[in-house]
Amino acid sequence: MLCLKVSLPFLLSAMIIGLLVSFFQAITSLQEQTLTFVPKALVVVVVVFILFPWLINTMMDYTAETFNRMSQAGP
């Protein structure tokens, strides 16, 4: 569940930008391969910078919970 929670913003943003670029390419009949990659990469980088504090807190909470469970299950 954590994997989905962490990766969903990146996947959704890339998918939405990919759809928008595909519509633009279909309308203009422009079939340039780099036109699909560059906007998606830029949007994912922007999303990383925006969500970085939340991402770090989520992963740190998960790590702390995992170590607490490991210490409780010890010998």
pLDDT band at 30 (very low <50, low <70, confident <90, very high): confident
pLDDT of 46-65, one tens digit each?
999 999 999 999 999 999 99
What's the pLDDT score for residue 31?
A: 80
pLDDT band at 13 (very low <50, low <70, confident <90, very high): very high
Q: What is the pTM assigned to this prediction? A: 0.76
User: Does pLDDT of 38 surpass 80?
Assistant: yes
SS (H, E, C) the chain: CHHHHHHHHHHHHHHHHHHHHHHHHHHHCCCCCHHHHHHHHHHHHHHHHHHHHHHHHHHHHHHHHHHHHHHHCCC
pLDDT band at 42 (very low <50, low <70, confident <90, very high): very high
Structural domain for 10, as ranges:
2-72
Structural domain tally of the chain?
Answer: 1
